[in-house]
Amino acid sequence: MPVIPDSHTDLPSPVTPLRMRSISCSLPTVGSFPPPAERGRRPWQIQPDGGGSPGAGIDLQLAVLRVLVGPRPRLSCANGTAMRIGIIGSGNIGATLAELFVGAGHQVVLANSRGPETLAPLVERLADGASAATAEDAAAAGDLVIVSIPFGRYEQVPAGPLAGKVVVDCNNYYPARDGRWRALDADETTSSELLAQHLPGARVVKVFNAIHWKHLRDQGRPAGAEGRRALPIAGDDVSAKATVGRLIDELGFDTVDLGPLAEGRRQQPGTEVYNVPLTAEELHGRLEA
């Protein structure tokens, strides 16, 4: 499967006024962590000098965590138990999310276009927190499912197992990679709306498309920390956005709700907020300008 480019393509995107809301929630503290003097820096403060593969820096991160604090507790802010998260696509964003979710105590089921056996190195790094499967099985297994494949292949996402589930769309439309789509070029619809049409009954939420994978890996901060980065999020289902917002909070980021899924066009490549590190206040300001 081709890897989504790290660079972005400048596309025209209309900016229309809307009222935005920040999603926030109270998360249980990780009670099994030792006090700061014993554990050193928090996970989101570990800044490995990582070039190369998306897992390279996080390998160091996870190794240090295991030495300092032992295994992370299995929890989610929703109900105190681990979620099983299906991830369809194992490029930069998909692999980084897998490592972060496992670090936060969740289970992940990974899939790509080349077959489960090709995911063995990543699964081995994540130990008991991950398994590999086909896209169909990952979609069926996940309580929530991440779609992180090139947009041009969105019709390959299995629709049946995703009916009724929260589906997180991380994709962007890159004409140089995906070919030209007249409806997208004319701004008649968005890539996320096309995915939602392909997945009847799925509760699609657009997020993680406007952040570089290295920033996703490195820039998470505790809730309330000064300068904490915010991610734009859009979707038609309010409860689905709240569920995704809680997971994002666990990873160390705030969220700003743009509204319905169609408003995801305001976080696409070429917009004022695409791949720009902004706090929630700064993000509001950019979108309201």
State how beta strands 84-88 and 144-147 pair: parallel
State what percent of residues in the chain have pLDDT above 70.
Answer: 72
Q: What's the pTM?
A: 0.75
Confidence bin at 283 (pLDDT 50/70/90): very high
Q: How far is CA 93 from CA 81, 98, 165, 207, 213, in A?
A: 24, 9, 21, 11, 5
Q: Per residue in 133-146, pLDDT tens?
A: 999 999 999 999 99
What is the number of domains present in the chain?
1
The residue behind tokens 């790290």 is 6
Residue 218, domain member (yes or no)? yes
Residue 3, domain member (yes or no)? no
9 vs 214, more confident: 214
What average pLDDT does the chain have?
80
Q: Per residue in 32-77, pLDDT tens?
A: 333 323 322 334 333 333 333 444 444 444 343 333 333 333 334 4
Instruction: Please give the pLDDT value at position 81.
Output: 67
What is the rounded distance in angstroms from the CA atom of residue 167 to the CA atom of residue 236?
A: 12
Residue 271, domain member (yes or no)? yes
Q: Which CATH number fits the domain that encloses residue 199? A: 3.40.50.720
Residue 250, domain member (yes or no)? yes
What is the rounded distance in angstroms from the CA atom of residue 202 to the CA atom of residue 139?
A: 11
Q: Which long-range contacts (CB under 8 A, 24 or more apart) does 55-64 make?
A: 55/95, 55/96, 55/99, 55/122, 55/125, 57/214, 57/217, 57/218, 58/96, 58/99, 58/100, 58/103, 58/217, 59/125, 61/99, 61/103, 62/99, 62/102, 62/103, 62/125
In the predicted model, is pLDDT for residue 10 greater than 60? no
| Three-state secondary structure call for residue 216 | helix
Q: How far is CA 289 from CA 16, 135, 210, 282, in A?
A: 9, 41, 18, 11
Residue 235, domain member (yes or no)? yes
In the predicted model, is pLDDT for residue 89 greater than 70? yes
Confidence bin at 80 (pLDDT 50/70/90): low
Residue 223, domain member (yes or no)? yes
* Torsional sign, CA 85, 217, 238, 163: negative
Residue 31, domain member (yes or no)? no
Residue 260, domain member (yes or no)? yes
Domain that holds residue 257: 54-288
17 vs 140, more confident: 140
